[in-house]
Amino acid sequence: MDAGVSSKAVVTDGFVEAARAIVSAEHIRPADPHDAVGGAQPQVVIEPGSEQELANVLKLANDAGLAVIPRGGGTKLAWGNPPDRADVVLSTARLNRIIEHAWADLTVTVEAGCSMQSLQETLSQHGQRLALDALWPDRDTIGGVLSTNDSGALRLRFGALRDLIIGVTLALPDGTLASSGGKVVKNVAGYDLPKLATGALGTLGVITRAVFRIHPLPKEARTISCLTRDIRAAQRLMLAIQDSQLAHSALQVRVIADAAPQVDVLFEATQAGLTAQTEQLRSIVAPNLFTDPGPVVWKSRQELYGAAKRGDSNSAAAKISILPARIADAMESLASISAGKVRRNAVVQATGIGCVHLEGEPAILASALKSLRAVLEGAGGSLAIAHHPAAMPLLDAWGEPGDALPLMRAVKQQLDPKDTLNPGRFVGGI
Amino acid sequence: MDARIFKELRAIVGQRGLITSQEELHTYECDGLANFRVMPRGVLLPASAEQVQAILRVCHRERIRFVARGSGTGLSGGALPVENGIVISLTRMNRILEVDLPNARVVVEPGVINLDITARVQPQAYFYAPDPSSQSVCSIGGNVAENSGGAHCLKYGFTTTHVLGLEVVLPDGTLVHLGGKALDAPGYDLAGVFVGSEGTLGIATKITLRIVKRPECVQTLLAAFPSTNEAGAAVSGIIAAGMLPAAIEMMDNLAIQAAEAAVHANYPNCGALLLVELDGPAAEVQALMTHVDEICRNNGAWEIRVAQSDAERALVWKGRKAAFAAMGRISPNYIVQDGVIPRTALPRVMSEIDRLSRQAGIRVANVFHAGDGNLHPLVLYDRRIVGQEEAAEALSHRILEICIAAGGSITGEHGVGEDKKMAMSKMFSEPDLETMQRVRCAFDPLQLSNPTKVFPRPRLCGEIPGKYVPHPLEISGIAERF
């Protein structure tokens, strides 16, 4: 990557003055230690009040050679590598409007700083939802959820953010505000930049607004848990459910310490549909192993990430991806890697996306994560570290980016040639 | 292009893999949009990714522009050759490489026919969901390029929803892997960018697709309404009731007449016909179908049939799937449009199309994917009547403008290609298009891969982008350039 700028650029009085001409003074403040990202201390926090203001401030910082950290709710700022430089925190906190809920068209246009919870509350007034169960919905923001490509259990049925986002507006470091996609679900005009921005960790542009397709809220819902003998049995059960004609919305396995794995199934349907599907599930699972734990089990992913996020424990959390039929292999590898050294918990969705939570001495955590990553990558999967103790030896957050890395760098070079946005936080040093 | 280059290309693909005779080249001078024609200098039929790489290395070195082509069924001129360029036909790369049922994945070469994937996994009750009307002949490589949809994408999503990984030869001959069999590979979602890029970013040589378990029960309801307004209201009612059918299709009277003339689907002769397909667990489908029936009756449906067996369903769908081709029965020539509108704008847009149609004296038949607002107005004309072709083209462009003004899109599934590239500046601002072209520059800095398509103007990759200017729609509603 062409660094292109001196790493010694600082926030000058002149910069702050110029920023005040764009954003009113009360929305510009000196950064404090709480604003640090991965050990890097920014100097100023700016909260623009409009998309145009945000684009103008971003351009100002870019012209001054400053590094910009876009920030939403700040719940997942630990994800990714520590930034090489951090000067300006660009907060979307004031860009929090729901611009248009076209409920009869099943779409919603929302600004990046709106929290998932407040979006869902608005959508629920018309019996609708964004079919994505994100982490910390009360504090996260749409921009942050998109940038980190967060997804929960509903992904199995409704897809990931890439399948739900239909339009995006990005502020680029040169001050361009560019939109792509649109307000209609079906649209193939132009490149699909909503997908490019999703999961880019804010390294290509700052998402200022997004348009989503939304879904009706389910009429009824029921969660059923099945106790399994071991992870092999859990794997067989999940594959059998996937291979059945059940129309479940979510399916996951919970492996908590050394307890027997639990397989959770979520049905969302009419009452008639629920009854019929529960019966059908009984023909796949021995009924004495059925429990009815309620929706709380779908929060276990958040519990695992949250436990590592608190930072007061010697624990780390990572997002894993593996082929659906290799979940048991991955969990067995994890068990043997961590045996006797590390306490482990995991929740893995039937999509193959999961969260692994490990607790132990920092050096041992690092080596366990490294070993697990090698196993997953060897099977075509991946492991991205989300939270880890400060004392843990530094490990690249992402792992092997594959042979498309030069192309990814070329995309970065085109949109952010001065390496202004989140420098160094993404894969391969992007 | 001189003999030396042809000799080099022939050495890559073999004698059978290179077409240069004028007669044979005629087959490749257009795709499904036959009013644009350009003769390519040659057509290459590689049999492997290595051959595609070798061809593109030559193209890169010699600055030869190329257009990749699948079955050539596209409707926007995406596979139209470019002047002095070559066509790379992927039809010989037609193997299904892997079927992985436990993971619900298949890996295919780009020349594999869409429907052949479903045929392969059908015995285990799986299917490949995207179902463009041309699915019995169109190729997966073409589907990837165009992000093809189909009637069932309302529930199941588009091609992009089902493409998990791609092996791509970039325009300089480099082979890269985007995405993968497992989800969320680290890095940018370049597979997501590639799908639907209409052949402008390189050539896909291997595609990993998701397949879907066949639902327990499928039922299709056919309802006859006095007009598209009542049928549209019924669609709104279904959506408002919180249902997500697998498909909702609408045909107006002219389209029904054409379909009847062509395939005798035994449709009722009515103002508008609605097809609603529900799938899922049998108990769920039964419960919801009762509700759909009620909503249709409450909105003025005077005849309702529910097809239960596969044979009955096939008949109901036959007329709809044949609708484009059927236009030949009622008009010598026609233009297919592919605009999208927010579904709720349907009554307004329909009456506007009707008004313009009367004004121009040109008939318009309407077939739509009503659930997602994807219109397929068929503008009917007779080329032999002086001035009618121009009038039909003008009307068809006006329809797109109406779609944009309603907050929609110029294309829902056919692609921009050659056909609608000038309309892109009406839908997007200059900075929007510039930003897309910057992404293009990362993939194809020399602009060799299907150049001159999608964007109204090329952008040199060294150019410094201009500063922000407001969206044309912001300043003046619809700008005046076509």
What pLDDT does residue B479 have? 37
Cα gap B120→A241, rounded to integer Å: 22
Residue A414 to residue B441, Cβ atoms within 8 A: yes
Cα gap A175→B404, rounded to integer Å: 26
Residue A196 to residue B441, Cβ atoms within 8 A: no
Rounded to the nearest angstrom, the gap between the alpha carbon of residue B196 and the centroid of all alpha carbons in its chain is: 9
**Distance (Å) from the alpha carbon of B182 to chain A's nearest alpha carbon:** 5
**Distance (Å) from the alpha carbon of B175 to chain A's nearest alpha carbon:** 8
What pLDDT does residue A8 have? 65
List, by residue range, all CATH 3.30.465.10 domains of chain B: 96-213
Stretch 12-41 of chain B: residues touching chain A, C-beta under 8 Å: none
Mean predicted lDDT score pLDDT of chain B: 92
Cα gap A401→B187, rounded to integer Å: 6
For an interface test with A, the pick among B184, B193, B284 (most A C-beta atoms closer than 10 Å) comes out as B184
Residue B186 to residue A322, Cβ atoms within 8 A: no
Give the closest of A102, A177, A413 to B342, CB-based: A102
Rounded to an integer, the average pLDDT of A253-274 is 94
Strand spans (E) along B83-202? 86-89, 96-100, 105-108, 126-127, 163-169, 175-179
- Report the share of chain B in percent with pLDDT over 70: 96
Residue A187 to residue B409, Cβ atoms within 8 A: yes
CATH topology classification for B96-213? 3.30.465
Cα gap A193→A169, rounded to integer Å: 9
Taking only the tens place, the pLDDT of each residue in A405-424 is 999 999 999 999 999 999 99
DSSP class of residue A262? Answer: E
- Report the share of chain A in percent with pLDDT over 70: 97
Residues of A in contact with B473 (CB under 8 A): none
Query: Pairing relation of β-strands A68-71 and A44-46?
Result: unpaired
Rounded to an integer, the average pLDDT of A69-77 is 96
**Distance (Å) from the alpha carbon of B102 to chain A's nearest alpha carbon:** 6
Taking only the tens place, the pLDDT of each residue in A108-140 is 999 999 999 999 999 999 999 999 999 999 999
Taking only the tens place, the pLDDT of each residue in B192-247 is 999 999 999 999 999 999 999 999 999 999 999 999 999 999 999 998 898 999 99
Taking only the tens place, the pLDDT of each residue in A331-343 is 999 999 988 889 9
Residues of A in contact with B454 (CB under 8 A): 190
pLDDT of B424 above 50: yes
What pLDDT does residue B323 have? 84
DSSP class of residue A390? Answer: T
CATH topology classification for B3-89? 3.30.43
Residues of A in contact with B428 (CB under 8 A): 179-180, 189-190
pLDDT interval class at A290 (50, 70, 90):
confident
Rounded to an integer, the average pLDDT of B304-321 is 88
**Distance (Å) from the alpha carbon of B55 to chain A's nearest alpha carbon:** 20
pLDDT interval class at B452 (50, 70, 90):
very high
- Report the share of chain A in percent with pLDDT over 90: 90
pLDDT of B477 above 50: no
Cα gap B253→A382, rounded to integer Å: 54
pLDDT of A293 above 50: yes
What pLDDT does residue B463 have? 54
Structure ipTM over 0.85, yes or no: yes
**Distance (Å) from the alpha carbon of A32 to chain B's nearest alpha carbon:** 31
Q: Any bridge partners for residue A83, and if so which?
A: none
As a CATH number, domain B215-330 is 3.30.70.2190
SS (H, E, C) A88-146: EEEECCCCCCEEEEEHHHCEEEEECCCCHHHHHHHHHCCCEECCCCCCCCCCCCHHHHH
Domains in chain A: ranges and CATH: 13-93+412-429 (3.30.43.10), 98-216 (3.30.465.10), 218-399 (3.40.462.40)
What pLDDT does residue A287 have? 63
Residues of A in contact with B435 (CB under 8 A): 170, 172, 176, 178, 180, 193, 415
pLDDT interval class at B266 (50, 70, 90):
confident
pLDDT of A94 above 50: yes
Residues of B in contact with A404 (CB under 8 A): 176-178, 187, 190
Residues of B in contact with A325 (CB under 8 A): 100, 102-103
For an interface test with B, the pick among A184, A193, A237 (most B C-beta atoms closer than 10 Å) comes out as A184
Rounded to an integer, the average pLDDT of A16-20 is 97
Secondary structure tally for chain B: helices H, strands E? 18, 18
Mean predicted lDDT score pLDDT of chain A: 94
Axis-axis angle for helices A405-415, B430-443 (nearest 10): 150
What pLDDT does residue B476 have? 44
Taking only the tens place, the pLDDT of each residue in B281-295 is 999 999 999 999 999
Q: Which of B401, B374, B72, B383 is nearest to B249 (CA)?
A: B374
Residues of A in contact with B427 (CB under 8 A): 182, 189-190
pLDDT interval class at A3 (50, 70, 90):
very low
What pLDDT does residue B462 have? 72
Q: Any bridge partners for residue A179, and if so which?
A: A169
For an interface test with B, the pick among A22, A169, A187, A196 (most B C-beta atoms closer than 10 Å) comes out as A187
For an interface test with A, the pick among B147, B154, B183, B469 (most A C-beta atoms closer than 10 Å) comes out as B183
Taking only the tens place, the pLDDT of each residue in B144-198 is 999 999 889 999 999 999 999 999 999 999 999 999 999 999 999 999 999 999 9
Q: Is B160 on the interface with A (CB under 8 A)?
A: yes
Cα gap A379→A352, rounded to integer Å: 12
Cα gap B199→B188, rounded to integer Å: 19
Q: Is B348 on the interface with A (CB under 8 A)?
A: no
Q: Is B195 on the interface with A (CB under 8 A)?
A: yes
pLDDT of A1 above 50: no
pLDDT interval class at A288 (50, 70, 90):
low
List, by residue range, all CATH 3.30.43.10 domains of chain B: 3-89
Residue B147 to residue A188, Cβ atoms within 8 A: yes
Range in B10-14, B113-117, B270-274, B322-326 the model is least confident about: B322-326
Stretch 290-329 of chain B: residues touching chain A, C-beta under 8 Å: none
List, by residue range, all CATH 3.30.70.2190 domains of chain B: 215-330
Q: Which residues neighbour A410 within 8 Å (Cβ) at sequence distance 6 or greater?
A: B442, B443
pLDDT interval class at B308 (50, 70, 90):
confident
pLDDT of A7 above 70: no
Rounded to an integer, the average pLDDT of B336-351 is 92
pTM above 0.90, yes or no: yes
